[in-house]
Amino acid sequence: MIDDTQNDNQENLEEEIPVNKNLSKKKSENAEETLESKEEKAAKKYSDKKILFVDIDDEITGLFDRIRNLKVENIYLVIPKRANILNSVVNLKILNRKLKDVNKNLFIITNDEQGVNLAMQADIPVYEKSEEDLFNKDDANKSPHLKISPISALKNFLEDDKPVRLEQRKYSIFDIVRKNKNPGLKMSKTREAPLPQSGRRKSKKTRSVKDFFVIFSFVKGYRGTLGIMILASLVLLFAVSYIALPGATIYLKPKSDVIEQSVNITLADNRVNAAELNTHPTNMIASYEVYPGGPIKKTYTYNSTGRKFYGQNANGEITIINQDKKEWPLIPKTRFQSPDGIIYRLQNRIVVPAATDQGFGTIKAFVSADETDIHGAIVGERGNIAPTTFFLPSLKPASQKLLYAKSETVMTGGKTDVKKFVTKEDLEAAKKFAHEKIIEEIIPTLDAYIKDLNDVKKSNLRLLVEQNIAWKRAIRYDDPKSFVDMKLVNKELDSFEVNAEVNATGISFNYDEFKNILKRELKSRKLPQKKLTKIDEESITYRLFNNDAGTKKYVVTASIKGIEEFELDPDKENGKRLIEKIKEHILGWNKKEAIKFIQNLDEVERVEIKTWPVWAPNIPNLENNVKVNLLEN
């Protein structure tokens, strides 16, 4: 094939080298006439044949649309490997049947083994490029010139012009370069004849069956050799890297546990035990008495419980029904209760008639609501209830079914107007309430005093307060006192005030010194092959174990928690030893087996392994190619 660069150089050479233009013209005309005569013969020879090239993603519908309008009888499809149309025998059968419907015969040219099998199942003639005969014997009988091979099958592509073989050697790039370097060099006139324009055009369009199946092609000459060498070098480099440079990184998370340490700490009064404290005894720190400078005083408000009703009671008419066969007399103030607990009382004595064959005995009566309901709440406006049913709470359950009442109209007249007043019981209850509340104020008051003291002295004192145990042993206080005006009895007040006071002292200690003792004891609890990763100061608890009033010493049992984990740092002895143990066992192992081995170690909580290349299934055999890192928490 002659490329565009060679064509341009050819034209340049024609200008530089003297030629016989008449001779060239004649040769060109003769070539064109020869080409036209060959094309006419070929068209006559192969007018009933058509070769089509199928792309790898062509679908059956698109192929049928291309073929059905062609004015030829025999259709040859050149199909590459792994083409979509060769994936289904059903598609091939459908295409073959559709083409037979339009009077066309289908032939397939392919070297796809699966495609060959499927085409044979679909009863379609198949030709591989290794076969000698492309067409069947009937076609050969029709025209003895039709026997062609798949390599030259492109010659049957009649609707395109056929390329023409050149009768003289083409100019190469080396000839052009050599001529430019040696201007005196002349070229043979056998090269002067220009290539026919039709030949140039046809050479670009024409393809062969062989070209269609070739996936990669290298440029001829030194460029192809260079490409092969580069590709071979890359393959070799990749192989060497795969064999000599595989790697693996093991990520470990050490196993951790929560540990707890308890210790007895003595809090000794700083004045009484000054000499002993100067010797810095183990687990003993100074304590300080806390006194706010006077009694703790508070004023509280207490609500009155007395009620005076100034409203009006609801009243209305009810019908009393008697289902018994005897009369039922009722005295004044007889109670009738509504479903929501409001009591209505009969105002006069009445006798309810007995039941007869004609019906129950009934009588109407006037009733009035009580000031309070059965729960003690003021009724007032709530007594204005809608028609409902009433029962007599003083009767037995069986009698309540025989004698009851109903209202047919709404109760009216109820009005709520209540005034609260102070009772004698309120004053006594207020004193008791004040005593309880003032004791609750002791700890907050002492804490607030210590906070102010810390702000002034830049210290970190804490109040000794027992947890989950009565704290009276650590904090001392007198009996609280309360004050209330006894003249408030029967006065109409919604609430009144009561005053209380108490004297209290507490014990404080330096919390930093207290924590340091606990941390030191916790660190001593740590195992040698582990490291302490966290000390949880929020977990500190203590309780008062013993106290001596004479020496003013308080012994508390305190606890603290922390987290320890195995030391896996490669720079530390324990971590170095474990990593050597791991590498010693797993080199060359399958990755899954290596993970299982490491996961079963007491020191490891979780393990991850990443290999390079990523698809490598095994750990490298070289120890230097295996790295160990710690997973972040």
Domain boundaries, the chain: 49-127, 245-256+568-630, 295-304+422-502, 307-420
Which of 182-186, 338-342, 464-468, 523-527 has the least mean pLDDT?
182-186
pLDDT, mean of residues 157-172: 52
**Band of the pLDDT at 116, cuts 50, 70, 90?**
confident
Q: What is the pLDDT of residue 316?
A: 95
Radius of gyration of the chain (CA): 57
Q: What is the pLDDT of residue 242?
A: 63
Q: Residue 438 pLDDT more than 70?
A: yes
Q: How far apart are CA 88 and CA 510, in angstroms?
A: 87
Q: What is the pLDDT of residue 68?
A: 81
Q: Which residues contact 119 (CB under 8 A, 6 or more apart)?
A: 86, 92, 108, 110, 126
Q: Residue 258 pLDDT more than 50?
A: yes
Residue with tokens 């209760």: 337
First to last CA, the chain: 67
Joined together, the tokens standing for residue 548 give 């001596």
Q: What's the angle, vertex CA 446, arms to CA 440 and CA 449, rounded to 5? A: 140
Q: What is the pLDDT of residue 386?
A: 95
DSSP 249-289: EEEEEE-EEEEEEEEEEEEEETTTTHHHHTT--TTEEEEEE
Q: Letter for the amino acid at 392?
A: L
Q: How far apart are CA 430 and CA 327, in angstroms?
A: 54
Per DSSP bridges, beta strands 105-109 and 74-78 are parallel
Q: What is the pLDDT of residue 63?
A: 84
Q: Residue 321 pLDDT more than 80?
A: yes
Please enumerate, as own/partner, the contacts of 132-141 that have beta carbons within 8 Å and a separation of 24 or more. 134/76, 134/109, 135/49, 135/74, 135/107, 139/74
Q: What is the pLDDT of residues 28-82, one digit of tens each?
A: 445 444 444 444 544 444 456 788 888 888 888 888 888 888 888 888 889 888 8
In sign, the C-alpha dihedral spanning 112, 118, 122, 123 is: positive
Q: What is the pLDDT of residue 471?
A: 55
pLDDT, mean of residues 542-569: 89
Q: Residue 22 pLDDT more than 50?
A: no
Q: How far apart are CA 602 and CA 619, in angstroms?
A: 22
